[in-house]
Amino acid sequence: MLREKVAIITDSCADVPEELAEKYHLFVLPMQIVCEDGVYRDGIDMTSEDIYKRLEKETPKSSTPSGADVEDLLQELVRQGYKKAIAVLLAGGLSGTVNQVRLLAEEFGGIEIAVYDSKQASIGIGGIAIQAAKYAEEGTEFEELKEKVERLIERTKVFFSIDTLKYLKRGGRIGKAAALAGTLLDIKPVMSFDEDGEIYAAAKVRSRKGVEKRLLQLMEDVKREGCPYNLMVADGGAAEEREALEEKLKERFPDYQAIYRTKIGAALSVHLGPGLLGAGIQYLEN
């Protein structure tokens, strides 16, 4: 009996490094970035470094993938012989990508697609998509794979800190973290996503130096004993801090099965600006 082929789709806000997307055969939809001089595609013709420069003089905006890119991807899946797919996408509280892909997939037909709101951003989405791709490669059937993805969404927790809330506030994506908007400039908020996929303030740190320590403590707070796990680290223009955080994570959580590291892409950088540092953990089934 032939093994069922299941494609795993995500969007560029998952910030999956190109080499991992290729290794695990992930299909990535590029988000759109609207600038004063035109519309660009995240990770294709616009990088986070480009965004950091533009933020100094303009206010770029991010948008869902183009309908043409979604349709092209669906057609490519059919050409490659896929009859079923799972899409793990940016938190619905931040973007309309989930609804867009669901509607276009229904109109397209020809392939059965289960579309999931990851209730996460960046490596939180990426970790779910990568693990789902691993399960698919192991031969997990479509119905069981859907159940596993639902549990991965519930068991993935990411914390992140940014230098300033002004970009989140500017883009209207601040959610439950709004209460911090008026705090002193030297307060560094540490944020996460709640069960509805909305950003909230998990902690407040008085200086950049305290961010790493607080991230590690928050990770300890959600620790589950006797459960296998993957680790995740991310940065936005703070590679050295990310490397230092990664080493400490490995010391605190030495039994990880895998660790995924990434830098924030262009689409999320529009709302977060430079200086992000993040860590996450994903609990797997025994």
Mapped onto helix, strand or coil, the DSSP state of residue 284 is: coil
Tell me the average pLDDT across 75-93.
96
For residue 177, is it within any domain? yes
Total-model pTM = 0.93
Contact 11, 65 (CB under 8 A): yes
For residue 110, is it within any domain? yes
pLDDT given for residue 179 in this prediction: 47
DSSP result, 75-143: HHHHHTT--EEEEEES-TTT-SHHHHHHHHHHHH-SSEEEEEE-S--THHHHHHHHHHHHHHHTT--HH
Contact 131, 256 (CB under 8 A): no
Q: Could you give the C-alpha distances from 153 to 33, 127, 158, 194, 214, in angstroms and in order?
A: 26, 10, 11, 11, 23
Angle between helices 211-221 and 239-252 (to 10 degrees): 40
pLDDT given for residue 223 in this prediction: 86
Q: Is the pLDDT of residue 286 over 80?
A: no
Within a 10 A sphere around the Cβ of 167, how many other Cβ atoms? 21
Tell me the average pLDDT across 91-108.
94
- What is the domain range of residue 271? 156-283
Tell me the average pLDDT across 7-21.
96
> 213 has which bridge partners?
none
Tell me the average pLDDT across 100-110.
93
Cα 276 from Cα 273, distance rounded (Å): 8
Percent of the chain with pLDDT over 70: 93
Average pLDDT, the chain: 91
* Domain match, 145 and 18 both: yes
For residue 46, is it within any domain? no
Q: Is the pLDDT of residue 1 over 50?
A: no
pLDDT given for residue 181 in this prediction: 46
* Domain match, 108 and 222 both: no
Tokens of 216: 């590690």
* Domain match, 163 and 120 both: no
pLDDT given for residue 164 in this prediction: 76
* Domain match, 147 and 186 both: no
* Domain match, 107 and 181 both: no
Tell me the average pLDDT across 202-228.
90
Q: How many domains does one find in the chain? A: 2
